[in-house]
Amino acid sequence: MNSTDSGAGDLYEMMTYLLVIIISAFIMVVWLKRKGKRKRRDDEG
């Protein structure tokens, strides 16, 4: 690894971290939505 690309590496690391957070948040929202739908159906039935 070249220490000269520390700036680009830092940006890449930050982007990767952001991507991980976005993906996990998206998965949580979808999972909660699916769970909510299932619960709502049970209440109606």
Token code pair at residue 9 = 């590496």
Percent of the residues in the chain that have a pLDDT greater than 70, as a whole number: 69
pLDDT one-digit tens code per residue, 7-25: 788 899 999 999 999 999 9
Average pLDDT over residues 34-41: 75
Query: Which tokens sit at 45?
Result: 């039935």
Q: CA-CA distance, 42 to 37, in Å (whole number)?
A: 9
Mean pLDDT for the chain overall: 83
3-state secondary structure of 1: coil
Separation of alpha carbons 25 and 27, rounded Å: 5
pLDDT for the residue numbered 24: 98
pLDDT mean over 30-45 = 77
pLDDT band at residue 5 using 50, 70 and 90 as cut-offs:
low
CA Rg, the chain, in Å?
Answer: 19
